[in-house]
Structure 1
Amino acid sequence: MSVGGKGLVLVSVVLTQLMIVLDMTVVAVALPSMQEDLGLTAGQRPWVMTAYTLAFGGLVLFGGRLSGVLGLRGSYRLGLTGFALASLVAGVAPSFAVLVAARVAQGVFAAVLAPTVLALVNRTFTETQERSRAFAVLGATGGLGAAVGLIVGGVLTESLDWRWTMYVNIPIALVAAVVSVSSLPSGDPRTALGRLFDDVVGLAAGCGAVFSLIYGLDRAQQDGWGAWSTVVLFVVAGVLAVGFVLRERRAAAPVLPLGMLRNASRTSSYAVMFVSTCAQMGSLVYLTYYFQEHLGYSPMATGVAFLPMVAALVVTAGVAGRLLVPRYGAKVCFPGGLAVQAVALFILSRVTVETTYGEVVLPGMVVFGAGLGLAVPVVFNAGTRGVPEGRSGLASSIISMSQQVGASFGVAVLSTYATRSVEGYIEEHAGRVEAQAAEAMARENAYPGSPEATGIVDRVIDALTQEAQIDAYGGGFALVGTIVASAAVILLAAVVVRWRYLGRSDAASGGAGVEVTGPAVRRRSL
């Protein structure tokens, strides 16, 4: 393929990747407007986001299968067309039922597009340096898509209407389709049509396990980790996952050949995507509330506040793609990127009711963006490198699945942590509230039960609640920072062990996820 053709493919897939990830968060700041316009109840509102995540994560394995059956060109066009139509329906939705159905459809077609996008880059860019640069661009897009979604959602909701958070996908899909019309690789789906029905049992078990896990994490966020619905879904996910593994060991044409997971660099890429997305999505939820409820930012100002993180991510991804990835690969970028993210989260954990945006949040976000830019682009590269062309869609779908599960896990953990932390903080400081209220009433000569006294009590309680919320954010950042730092240490230890016991040349050969094969030798390394 010519350089111009490769450039068109990259532009098209970058637009598509942005659209897919953007839709994970673009509606977050528009939810209040949706609720008011459509009359959503408190119980219905979370489903606007959950419907997309469940369909996307639960069916992404099927999307990887479909890309192999229809071919990259066929699955890409199907995904773009379906996503655009679903977005149109979501935009004109007159009711909750129509909106949620359209969001499910968006998730279904995102599950088709996500593995296809990565497989297209994997097939188009084969030379080491151009591949590293292409995945750096795509990785930066994937990393910043969630933050861009908040920015776009805020701007569109405030300047136009919440429905434009859905309509915005239509021109993106149209441009991506036009740009790629003459550059996509062709394929003959007739030769692979029979593969659609290979290992249907394994496919159903795998999709069911992911669906149950993501839904269980959603229920944990809404109802608590000990709720019967949460526990049942986790048990179902575990049973289906075990059944999936047993099935794949025996299936003649497995959905997921387990040998694909034996490559250390590839498996590490899935873990890094899970941990990074967990930290990113959980932190975005905290920061969004912090900006709007504590600092009083509008939806548009909230989006603008995230721009430094986006800028740091883009710059770091570009530098890493050109200088670090070709030379050091995954063995440095994975633990290094996670370590930088952990540092950022510990910086953010210093937030208090007195700190300002520039004191803690701004430097924390810049460092976090740099950590994402260092690690995430390498995930896409290492996660698909060395995979046979017919399995590239499958390898890509596992990356997307790790992203969806990580996002759900991060939001669930930090949301439930914040709820319990706030309750505990208020109980612990209840006596202080009474003392402050009594002192204020005495100072203002307000008698108990009077309107003035009631106003004083309300102000003291509001101040304590805000203080408890900010304290919970700080503790949550520290918690997820510990998780990310632990993952960085484990990966670094794995690199050191392989470097020491397998030799410098062997460790270096897999630096970017290369799988070296020969007539009598197969080496896999981090």
Structure 2
Amino acid sequence: MTTHTTGRPIAPPQAITQRLGLILFVCCAGQFLVVLDSSVVNVALPLIDHSLHLGAGSLHWVVNSYTVVFAGALLLGGRLADLYGRRRLLLLGIGLFTLAALVGGLASNPAILVTARGFQGLGSAIMAPSTLTVIGTVFTEPGARARAFGLWSAVAGAGGAVGVLAGGVIAEWFSWRWTLLANVPVGLALLALTAVVVPEASRSRSELRGRVDVVGALSVTLGLMVLVYGVAGASREGWGSVRTLGLVGFGAALLAFFVLDQAKIASQPLVPLSIFRVRQVTAANVTALACSGALFSSFYFFTLLLQQVLDYSPLETGLAYLPMTAGLFAGARGIAPLVQRIGPRPVLIAGHLISASGLLWLSTAGPDAGFLSALLGPGLLLGVGQGMVMTALTIAATADLPYSQSGLASGLINTTRQLGGAIGLALLVTISGSRIADRTAAGQPVREALASGYGLAFATAAGFLALGLLGALAVPARRKA
């Protein structure tokens, strides 16, 4: 056995090598839960409303309370993992996530449910950066690391679509409460497995002496939460409303202060701004912002298209996501070796083009659309393209960074994804809602008006990918060894 600077024993390299598969399973399962729970309750929202009587004005917070806290606390979660250890933070995140799922599943009123979902988001914000940095630090051989990142990206990408399928099955056959309670046995098993197989890597004395920049942590966490909160409500309140402008302005002011704090005030900044001098980190995050706006929004509008235009049941809706899920998994898992050989930029470009073609095809779906003729092909294209993009982005955003910044980079790319998803969804809900209102006022049948609005949302999402493509072009070409 060897020891690190705190004097505690850590497993020798050969012991870690022997359980790499289990470590990868733990990290992928943790990220899968994080993404799954952002979408698993979507299909069950009508049942939740019927049971707890939230009302149309509050029901969306069953989803948004998770998203807002998750997005706001991700950078803090990544920094805490760097300072206090990935394994320790991974255990804390899984424990908090599982406990919150139990409380939410047993909730007797809306306040308890929404609060529990917020704490689930906090647990996810602690867990997500840790899963990625454990992979980055345990898998040291470049090829193995690329394959591990590919599997992690595949699981992360498929989690959202699987969440819709799982939510549909549970909502139709059991109770909405089990969309949350099902996490409890899974979380407990994952907690036990993590404690047994995940090693705590050694850290330098400077890392052990590191402190959390409390002012920076509070300003960026509150700033992101307020910004996402304001954007999430914009589709209902209007972008020009006093509430939306006030929240977005206040969130932007907090984030501006955060940048000032990191540049001039903090002695040990939460996000050293020097990380943005790494070209591929900056380019990957710009790309992730646009790409996530397209992908997260596509899930939302695909569900509405299936249920409100094509009259699919919750279970049929979940099953209709299977081609997209399979495409995401295949694209992310299969492309990793190629990324290792040719670099992330060509894969990002191809993935964006494939995804955009799927979205443009999907934008033509009308009330009479058949699954085989109008949904299967676009779903596969969108899934494969986004799977390719997710793997290449993960590698680009975290490669070639020192160990002490791996948690920061992981938290940063996850934060960017959540922020892009929230902003993209709010924009597309506003755009599609305006088209639907115009078509309905002109006397068009409701289903045709809805199909037109959702089609415009898919086409606009393809436009987001055009912006992401510009970021992909800025990712450095692969350097020769």
Same fold (TM over 0.5): yes
2:3 aligns with none
- Equivalent-residue separation in structure 2 for 1:173 and 1:275 (angstroms): 32
- Equivalent-residue separation in structure 2 for 1:60 and 1:202 (angstroms): 13
Residue 469 of structure 1 pairs with residue 435 of structure 2: no
Tell me the SS of whatever aligns to 2:329. Answer: helix
Write the letter of the residue equivalent to 1:480. A
Tell me the SS of whatever aligns to 2:162. Answer: helix
Write the letter of the residue equivalent to 2:369. T
* Aligned equivalent of 2:279, options 251, 257, 264: 264
For 1:351-390, what per-residue CA distance to the aligned partner results, in whole angstroms no more than 9, with x for missing partners? 1223222222221111000111111012222212222222
Contact 1:72 1:116 in 2 (8 A): yes
- Equivalent-residue separation in structure 2 for 1:379 and 1:108 (angstroms): 24
Tell me the SS of whatever aligns to 1:508. Answer: coil
- Equivalent-residue separation in structure 1 for 2:225 and 2:394 (angstroms): 23
- Equivalent-residue separation in structure 2 for 1:10 and 1:51 (angstroms): 29
Contact 1:66 1:196 in 2 (8 A): no
508 and 384 in structure 1: CA distance in 2 versus 1, 3 angstrom threshold: closer
1:157 aligns with 171
Write the letter of the residue equivalent to 1:262. R
Contact 1:11 1:176 in 2 (8 A): no
| Structural mapping, 1:288-367, within 5 Å | 288-322=303-337, 324-367=338-381
- Equivalent-residue separation in structure 1 for 2:132 and 2:304 (angstroms): 33
- Equivalent-residue separation in structure 2 for 1:325 and 1:304 (angstroms): 31
* Aligned equivalent of 1:12, options 26, 33, 40: 26
* Aligned equivalent of 1:69, options 83, 101, 119: 83
- Equivalent-residue separation in structure 2 for 1:248 and 1:39 (angstroms): 44
Contact 1:65 1:196 in 2 (8 A): no
- Equivalent-residue separation in structure 2 for 1:269 and 1:186 (angstroms): 28
2:97 aligns with 83
Contact 1:281 1:411 in 2 (8 A): yes
Write the letter of the residue equivalent to 1:466. R
1:285 aligns with 300
Tell me the SS of whatever aligns to 1:387. Answer: coil
- Equivalent-residue separation in structure 2 for 1:232 and 1:401 (angstroms): 22
2:184 aligns with 170
Tell me the SS of whatever aligns to 2:259. Answer: helix
Contact 1:70 1:188 in 2 (8 A): no
Residue 488 of structure 1 pairs with residue 458 of structure 2: no
Write the letter of the residue equivalent to 1:473. Y
- Equivalent-residue separation in structure 2 for 1:387 and 1:203 (angstroms): 22
- Equivalent-residue separation in structure 1 for 2:472 and 2:340 (angstroms): 19
Q: Which runs of 5+ in 2 are unaligned?
A: 1-12
| Structural mapping, 1:17-166, within 5 Å | 17-166=31-180
**Identity over aligned pairs, percent:** 33
* Aligned equivalent of 1:276, options 275, 287, 291: 291
Tell me the SS of whatever aligns to 1:182. Answer: helix
Write the letter of the residue equivalent to 1:244. F
Q: How far did 1:486 drift? A: 3.2
- Equivalent-residue separation in structure 2 for 1:103 and 1:382 (angstroms): 31
1:248 aligns with 262
Aligned length: 465
367 and 167 in structure 1: CA distance in 2 versus 1, 3 angstrom threshold: same
Residue 421 of structure 1 pairs with residue 444 of structure 2: no
Contact 2:310 2:368 in 1 (8 A): no
| Structural mapping, 1:165-204, within 5 Å | 165-186=179-200, 195-197=210-212, 199-204=213-218
* Aligned equivalent of 1:373, options 387, 395, 399: 387
- Equivalent-residue separation in structure 2 for 1:73 and 1:490 (angstroms): 33
Q: How far did 1:509 drift? A: 1.4
For 1:312-352, what per-residue CA distance to the aligned partner results, in whole angstroms no more than 9, with x for missing partners? 11112222012x21111211112221121111111111112
- Equivalent-residue separation in structure 1 for 2:329 and 2:427 (angstroms): 28
Please say which structure displays the higher CA radius of gyration: 1
Residue 478 of structure 1 pairs with residue 440 of structure 2: no
For 1:258-306, what per-residue CA distance to the aligned partner results, in whole angstroms no more than 9, with x for missing partners? 1111212122222232222211111111111111122211111100000
TM-score, scaled relative to structure 2: 0.92
Tell me the SS of whatever aligns to 1:177. Answer: helix
Q: How far did 1:187 drift? A: 5.5
2:410 aligns with 396
- Equivalent-residue separation in structure 1 for 2:202 and 2:471 (angstroms): 44
- Equivalent-residue separation in structure 2 for 1:193 and 1:38 (angstroms): 47
RMSD: 1.9
**Greater displacement, 262-271 / 52-61:** 262-271
- Equivalent-residue separation in structure 2 for 1:286 and 1:126 (angstroms): 40
- Equivalent-residue separation in structure 1 for 2:381 and 2:227 (angstroms): 31
Contact 2:344 2:478 in 1 (8 A): no
- Equivalent-residue separation in structure 2 for 1:4 and 1:294 (angstroms): 51
Contact 1:80 1:173 in 2 (8 A): yes
2:245 aligns with 231
For 1:480-500, what per-residue CA distance to the aligned partner results, in whole angstroms no more than 9, with x for missing partners? 1122123214533x36xx7xx
Q: Which runs of 5+ in 1 are unaligned?
A: 434-463, 499-506, 511-515, 517-526
**Greater displacement, 474-483 / 12-21:** 474-483
Contact 1:64 1:112 in 2 (8 A): yes
Residue 217 of structure 1 pairs with residue 231 of structure 2: yes
1:521 aligns with none
489 and 54 in structure 1: CA distance in 2 versus 1, 3 angstrom threshold: closer
TM-score, scaled relative to structure 1: 0.85
- Equivalent-residue separation in structure 2 for 1:331 and 1:232 (angstroms): 39
- Equivalent-residue separation in structure 2 for 1:148 and 1:117 (angstroms): 19
- Equivalent-residue separation in structure 2 for 1:272 and 1:190 (angstroms): 33
Write the letter of the residue equivalent to 1:311. A
Tell me the SS of whatever aligns to 1:256. Answer: coil
For 1:169-194, what per-residue CA distance to the aligned partner results, in whole angstroms no more than 9, with x for missing partners? 12222232233333222268996576
Contact 2:54 2:110 in 1 (8 A): yes
